[in-house]
Structure 1
Amino acid sequence: MTERPRGRPRAFDRDRAVLEAARLFWRHGYSGTSTRTLTATLGLSTSSLYAAFGSKAGLFEEAVRTYAERYREIYQQAVAEKDIRTVIERILTDSVHEFTQPSDAHPGCLISSAVMTDSTSTLDTSTHVAELHNANEQALLVRIERAVQDGELAAGTNATDLTGLIQSLWHGLSVRSNADTSRESLLATARLAHRLICRQLASPTS
Structure 2
Amino acid sequence: MPQPARGRPRTFDRDHALLEAARLFWRRGYSGTSTRDLTAALGVSTSSLYAAFGSKAELFEEAVRTYAERYREIYRQAVAEPEFASVLERVLIDSVDEFTRPADEHPGCLLSSAAMADSTSTLDTHAYFAELQASNEHSLRSRIEQAVREGQLASDVDTGALTGVVQSVWHGLSARAILGTGRADLLATARLAHAVICGGTGASSS
Q: Could you give the per-residue CA deviations for residues 24-56 of structure 1, whole angstroms, max 9, x where no partner exists? A: 110111111111110000011111111111111
The equivalent of 2:202 in structure 1 is 202
Percent identity over the alignment? 67
Cα offset, 1:171, TM superposition: 1.0
Please give the alpha-carbon distance, in whole angstroms, between the structure 2 residues aligned to 1:123 and 1:94.
27
Matched ranges for 1:85-124 at <5 A: 85-124=85-124
| 1:61 paired to 2:61 | yes
Q: Partner amino acid for 2:169?
A: L
Cα offset, 1:10, TM superposition: 7.2
CA contact (8 A) 2:20 2:42 kept: yes
Unaligned runs of 5+ in 2: 1-8
CA contact (8 A) 2:110 2:116 kept: yes
Please give the alpha-carbon distance, in whole angstroms, between the structure 1 residues aligned to 2:119 and 2:94.
29
- For residue 111 of structure 1, give the secondary structure of its aligned residue in structure 2: helix
CA contact (8 A) 1:25 1:60 kept: yes
| 1:35 paired to 2:43 | no
CA contact (8 A) 1:99 1:108 kept: yes
The equivalent of 2:148 in structure 1 is 148
Q: Partner amino acid for 2:186?
A: L
Please give the alpha-carbon distance, in whole angstroms, between the structure 2 residues aligned to 1:26 and 1:181.
18
Please give the alpha-carbon distance, in whole angstroms, between the structure 1 residues aligned to 2:164 and 2:12.
43
CA contact (8 A) 1:155 1:203 kept: no
Cα offset, 1:123, TM superposition: 2.4
Please give the alpha-carbon distance, in whole angstroms, between the structure 2 residues aligned to 1:58 and 1:171.
28
Please give the alpha-carbon distance, in whole angstroms, between the structure 2 residues aligned to 1:118 and 1:58.
14
Cα offset, 1:61, TM superposition: 0.5
Cα offset, 1:126, TM superposition: 1.6
The equivalent of 1:171 in structure 2 is 171
- For residue 194 of structure 1, give the secondary structure of its aligned residue in structure 2: helix
CA contact (8 A) 1:18 1:59 kept: yes
Distance 1:203 1:175, change over 3 A: closer
Q: Partner amino acid for 1:198?
A: C
CA contact (8 A) 1:113 1:178 kept: no
Cα offset, 1:119, TM superposition: 4.3
| 1:70 paired to 2:53 | no
Q: Could you give the per-residue CA deviations for residues 110-136 of structure 1, whole angstroms, max 9, x where no partner exists? A: 111121123444521121221111111
The equivalent of 1:134 in structure 2 is 134
Q: Could you give the per-residue CA deviations for residues 179-203 of structure 1, whole angstroms, max 9, x where no partner exists? A: 1111111111111111111111116
